[in-house]
Amino acid sequence: MLPDDLLAALRNAQHVCVLTGAGISAESGVPTFREAQSGLWEHYDPLDLATPEAFLRNPELVWRWYRWRRELVANAEPNAGHIALARLAGLVPKLTLVTQNVDGLHQRAGSSGVIEFHGNLFEDRCFVEGCIVEPGVEDSVPTCPGCGAQVRPGVIWFGEAIPERALHESFSAAAQCDVFLSIGTSSLVYPAAGLAEIAVKAGATVVEINPNPTGLAALFDHAISAEAGTAMPALLEATWP
C-alpha cells in the first residue's frame, strides 16, 4: 500500500524531476560497465578502455570494446519502469528526466528531452571538436568528415567532466521540482547524488525507489523497496486509477 501523502504529492505536482541509475537498466538485462568486463575483456583495466588517454594510445582496442558493448545493449528492450516514466511525462505538467545510463532505453521507451549525465553509447563524437558525427563506413577507427580527426564513442570517460549544460539543467530542475524520484541508483556518485539533496533543500517530496536502501535513504520522505519495473507502474496506477 502506497502512502496517501505520496500519491497526493505526485497527483498535485507541477514539476517532477527523476534521476535514474544502473538499476533500471539492469532490469532490462543491460550489464554495468564492470559486469561487461567479462570473457575476452575481463583482464583489461578500465583505464585501458574508457579514458581519453586509452583512446589516444590504442583507439582500435577502445572501439572494439564499445562496439561489443553496443551489441549487448542493442539486444535489450525497455522495461515496465522505462515505459511508466515515459507515460508519467504525459500525466504531469512538467517532467525532467536525468539518467546516469548511456543505453538510450529511456528514449526507446518514448521519453524525450532526456538529460544524459554520461553521454550515449550509440553516439559518435569527434575527438577534437566534440560534435556529433553521423555513422559512416564502419572503419576500425572512424574519422570526422569535418576536420578529419578520429571519432570516439559519445560517452563520458573516467577523468572527464559531466557536460555543463546537463549539470545546469538537472540542478535547476531539482531546485524547482515538487516531487523528486531517485530510481535504481546507488546515490553514491556525485554530482548525480547531490540532486536529491538539492530537492530536499527546496522542499520537494523526495522518493527513493530501489530494492535496497542506499546511503542517502535517511534524506528521503519515502523509500520504496522494489525494482522500477514493479514500483513505477504501481505508483502511476495508484495515483491515477
- Tens digit of each residue's pLDDT (9 = 90 or more) over 39-79: 667 778 878 899 999 999 999 999 999 999 999 899 999 99
- Tens digit of each residue's pLDDT (9 = 90 or more) over 143-172: 999 999 999 999 999 999 999 999 999 999
Contact predicate 127/53, CB 8 Å = no
H/E element, 152: strand 151-155
Strand partners, 124: 153
pLDDT for res 48:
87
Contact predicate 205/230, CB 8 Å = no
**Nine cell digits for residue 197:** 539533496
pLDDT for res 39:
63
pLDDT for res 73:
94
Nearest to 195 by CA among 221, 176, 223, 222: 176
Which residue has cell 535514474? 20
Task: Collect contacts of 137-141 with beta carbons under 8 A, ≥24 apart.
Answer: 140/60, 140/63, 141/59, 141/60, 141/63
Pairwise pLDDT comparison (20 vs 45), residue with the higher score: 20
pLDDT for res 36:
65
Domain 1-29+77-118+162-241 has CATH 3.40.50.1220: yes
pLDDT for res 136:
67
Nearest to 29 by CA among 109, 103, 120: 103
pLDDT for res 122:
95
Contact predicate 216/193, CB 8 Å = yes
Counting beta carbons within 10 angstroms of the beta carbon of residue 188, is it exposed (0 to 12), middle (13 to 18) or buried (19 or more)? exposed
Q: Tell me: pLDDT of 38 over 80.
A: no
- Tens digit of each residue's pLDDT (9 = 90 or more) over 169-198: 999 999 999 999 999 998 777 888 899 999
Q: Tell me: pLDDT of 217 over 70.
A: yes
Sequence spans of domains, the chain: 1-29+77-118+162-241
Q: Report CA dihedral (147, 151, 152, 156) to the nearest 10 degrees.
A: 20
Contact predicate 214/208, CB 8 Å = yes
Phi, psi (rounded to 5 degrees) for 182 = -110, 115
Nearest to 78 by CA among 120, 26, 116: 26
- Residues recognised as catalytic: 118
